[in-house]
């Protein structure tokens, strides 16, 4: 949408009536450079943030030993959720910073901070060595990760949306979600390979390897992002002296309706991501009794399909609009959640992979359109901050607690397929929000 800072508050407050931003399109070389820098940085960010969830079963034994596998896993997922508690605070801090000093500088700080916290996790003593100090340090590292992650997704989406040609915005911004899922695939695939190669040594010391990789990955991400030029829209805004002095306050004044839409859109994205990436590996092992190698092979297959499908869905959203893809993803998740969980429970590896892929394709349809749809809700001067606050509020309330709540739900109900009903409810919530929104894709608006 265009920069609405010159509009009256009442008019700018309605995201449904704003126009699409008109900016000079960057050349192909500049666009490739920003895609690589933003995409690799996002890959690093979510590899670092997500590897904790991928290794949840192993970390449960190392930091929360109790003799009860489900209790250990619940403790690990509680710490996983603790990282999400910090995300709205990180969103407020980095979002405001990004709207004041620029997207590129802020994103470089974000990736370096996350990688430092992840590297520290790989060096932590375990409960057997340090007692209660070990989980306390783990929580601290996770809180730092969560704080930094609060500035990542909204910032990377903002940067790409403001660089993208308006009629390719869906395709360009979809690479954010594609690189995020590629990070999940890399994390899950790495744990799969290490588990197969190291055997019992994976529990002793092999689990540290993915965390230690944060150092070279973080340096690479910081280097690429620090060499980027800021987005054309932000440079134009800065040259005109149009930056907001108080982006957060202004966000709640001129973009509060857009922020509510953002929360509603984000519910299924937040829950779906962390259900597939974090909850599923532990669920397959502890509840459905797949082997560790089988569990990670099934999870990796599903995440791989999502990573491949998202850019195609993004390109499709440029042609048919954001709403059809968002509705298809929500409806598909609502219809297929229970059948997919039933297939998982059969105990056959091939059927379980099919179930994961089915859920993944629903999420890919939604994710292909969502980044552009979110960016198009907000004016340039508050886009980063307004999106970061609402995006991370939804992630904290719904996404961060998904693994814990789904695991608790199984224990409380005694029904192994109960998490499917949680996904159904969440899909309906986002679907209803999408139905109440108007189309924002430039191609469909001009039609």
SS3 163: helix
Cα distance between the two ends of the chain: 16
Instruction: Tell me what pLDDT residue 73 has.
Output: 77
* Cα separation, 388 vs 254, whole angstroms: 15
Q: What is the pTM of this model?
A: 0.83
Instruction: Tell me what pLDDT residue 25 has.
Output: 61
* Cα separation, 221 vs 38, whole angstroms: 8
- Which residues, including other chains, have CB under 8 Å from residue 34's CB and lie 6 or more apart? 26, 159, 160, 163, 228
Q: What is the pLDDT along the chain (447 residues), one digit of tens a residue?
A: 333 333 333 334 444 434 444 545 667 777 888 888 888 888 988 888 788 878 888 888 889 887 677 777 788 788 878 788 899 999 999 999 999 999 989 999 999 999 999 999 999 999 889 988 998 999 899 899 989 989 998 999 999 999 998 889 999 999 998 998 898 888 888 988 998 899 889 989 999 999 999 889 889 989 988 888 888 888 888 888 888 888 888 888 888 899 999 999 999 999 998 899 889 988 999 899 899 889 989 998 898 999 999 999 999 999 999 999 999 999 999 999 999 999 999 989 899 999 999 999 999 999 999 999 999 999 989 999 999 999 999 998 898 888 889 999 999 999 999 999 999 999 999 999 999 998 988 765 544
Q: How far is CA 417 from the centre of its chain?
A: 24
* Cα separation, 357 vs 140, whole angstroms: 35
Helix, strand, coil tally for the chain in percent (to 5) = 80, 0, 20
SS3 246: coil
Mark out the alpha helices in 376-401 (DSSP H runs): 383-394
Half-sphere exposure at residue 247, Cβ-oriented, CA atoms within 13 angstroms = 26
Instruction: Tell me what pLDDT residue 312 has.
Output: 96
Mark out the alpha helices in 55-102 (DSSP H runs): 56-63, 69-85, 87-101
For residues 395 and 46, the answer to whether their CB atoms sit within 8 Å is: no
For residues 163 and 31, the answer to whether their CB atoms sit within 8 Å is: yes
For residues 91 and 151, the answer to whether their CB atoms sit within 8 Å is: yes
* Cα separation, 54 vs 214, whole angstroms: 15
For residues 84 and 395, the answer to whether their CB atoms sit within 8 Å is: yes
CA dihedral of 202, 206, 210, 216, whole degrees rounded to 10: -160
Dihedral (CA of 63, 69, 72, 77) sign: positive
Instruction: Tell me what pLDDT residue 184 has.
Output: 86
Tell me how far CA of residue 253 lies from CA of 247, 259, 276, 387, in angstroms.
Answer: 10, 11, 36, 14
Structural domains present in the chain: 26-234+245-446 (1.20.1250.20)
Closest CA to 247 of 396, 378, 391: 378
* Cα separation, 375 vs 440, whole angstroms: 10
| Six-digit token string for 214 | 């944060």
DSSP-derived secondary structure for 124-162: ---HHHHTTHHHHHHHHHHHHHHHHHTTHHHHHHHHHHH
């Amino acid at each position: 949408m265009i920069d609405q800072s010159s509009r009256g508050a009442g008019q700018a407050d309605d995201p449904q009536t704003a126009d699409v931003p008109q900016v000079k399109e960057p050349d192909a070389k500049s666009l490739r450079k920003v895609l690589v820098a933003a995409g690799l940085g996002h890959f690093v960010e979510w590899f670092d943030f997500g590897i904790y969830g991928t290794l949840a079963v192993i970390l449960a034994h190392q930091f929360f030993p109790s003799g009860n596998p489900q209790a250990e896993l619940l403790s690990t997922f509680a710490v996983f959720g603790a990282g999400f508690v910090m995300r709205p605070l990180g969103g407020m801090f980095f979002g405001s910073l990004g709207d004041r000093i620029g997207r590129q500088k802020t994103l470089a700080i974000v990736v370096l901070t996350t990688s430092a916290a992840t590297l520290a996790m790989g060096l932590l003593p375990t409960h057997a060595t340090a007692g209660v100090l070990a989980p306390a340090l783990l929580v601290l590292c996770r809180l730092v990760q969560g704080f930094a992650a609060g500035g990542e997704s909204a910032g990377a989406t903002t940067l790409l949306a403001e660089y993208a040609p308006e009629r390719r915005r869906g395709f360009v911004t979809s690479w954010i979600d594609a690189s995020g899922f590629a990070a999940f695939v890399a994390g899950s695939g790495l744990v799969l390979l290490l588990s197969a190669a190291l055997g019992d040594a994976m529990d002793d010391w092999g689990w540290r390897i993915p965390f230690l990789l944060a150092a070279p990955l973080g340096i690479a991400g910081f280097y690429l992002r620090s060499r980027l030029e800021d987005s054309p829209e932000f440079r134009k805004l800065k040259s005109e002296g149009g930056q907001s002095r108080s982006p957060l306050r202004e966000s709640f004044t001129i973009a509060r309706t857009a922020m509510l839409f953002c929360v509603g859109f984000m519910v299924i994205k937040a829950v779906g991501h962390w259900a597939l990436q974090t909850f599923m590996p532990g669920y397959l092992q502890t509840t459905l009794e797949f082997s560790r190698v089988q569990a990670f092979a099934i999870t990796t297959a599903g995440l791989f399909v999502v990573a491949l499908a998202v850019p195609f869905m993004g390109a499709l959203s440029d042609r048919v609009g954001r709403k059809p893809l968002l509705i298809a993803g929500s409806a598909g998740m609502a219809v297929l959640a229970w059948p997919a969980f039933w297939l998982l429970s059969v105990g056959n590896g091939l059927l379980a992979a099919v179930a994961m892929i089915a859920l993944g394709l629903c999420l890919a349809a939604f994710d292909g359109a969502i980044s552009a749809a979110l960016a198009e809700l907000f004016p340039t001067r508050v886009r980063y901050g307004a999106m970061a606050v609402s995006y991370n509020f939804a992630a904290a309330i719904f996404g961060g607690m998904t693994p814990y709540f789904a695991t608790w739900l199984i224990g409380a109900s005694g029904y192994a397929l109960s998490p499917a009903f949680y996904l159904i409810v969440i899909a309906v919530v986002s679907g209803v929000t999408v139905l109440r929104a108007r189309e924002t894709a430039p191609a469909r608006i001009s039609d």
